[in-house]
Structure 1
Amino acid sequence: MKKISAAALLAGILLASCTPKASTVAPIGPAVSSAEQLAQGKTIFENSCGRCHKLPDPTAHTSVQWVGIMNSMAPKAKLTDEQHQWVYDYIVSVKK
């Protein structure tokens, strides 16, 4: 019985160590941004996003779709987590 308990404990430890690591993508979600942060988000959006391609229309996608778009594009633009949030907040504010 002790061997079964020890084997179960060992299996549990091994399984726990094999879980996927937490994502390194910046969290995006509802945030309270000041007018200054929204202005910075707009500037970053226009300068960073517009450097490589035509600027997308912020109203063309839902807030949920923008999360995926931002998570894939922000690393290419080398945005900090804070800048990432500001751009997202700006885009969502345009939709209101």
Structure 2
Amino acid sequence: MKSKILTLAAIGLFLVSCGTKKAPAAPATPPVAETVKTVELTPELAEGKSLYENNCARCHKLKDPKKYTKEEWGPILVKMQKKAKLDDVKMASITNYIHSQL
């Protein structure tokens, strides 16, 4: 009985392993390279980026600036300024950095 089960299992494995592999289909159209907007960071924007990364990441995962519009960032930044206890100068620097990435 055991030998019949083992023989059937071996035959099954052999048949499965002998199956043909399908080659990946070629894409219908070549992928379009996405243009990424890169902004040269001035010293002021670099400072805003540093403040954003160091202050905001203390409490939560950093959000991608492009995830929200400029209008959506407004209330978020106001709320976070109070929680992070940042002065207006630091907050302006962070806001300028966020807006430069949109």
TM-score by length of 2: 0.58
Per-residue deviation, 1:81: 0.2
Which whole-Å CA distance do the structure 2 matches of 1:36 and 1:82 have between them? Answer: 15
Secondary structure at the counterpart of residue 99 of structure 2: helix
Identity of aligned residues (%): 42
Which residue number corresponds to residue 86 of structure 1?
93
Moved over 4 A (4+): none
More helix by share: 1
Which residue number corresponds to residue 84 of structure 2?
77
Which residue number corresponds to residue 71 of structure 2?
64
Q: What is the CA deviation profile of residues 6-57 of structure 1, one whole-angstrom value per residue up to 9, with x for unaligned ones?
A: xxxxxxxxxxxxxxxxxxxxxxxxxxxx811111100010000001000011
- Give 5+ residue unaligned stretches, structure 1: 1-33
Number of aligned residue pairs: give it.
62
The alignment's C-alpha RMSD in Å is 1.2
Which whole-Å CA distance do the structure 2 matches of 1:35 and 1:49 have between them? Answer: 21
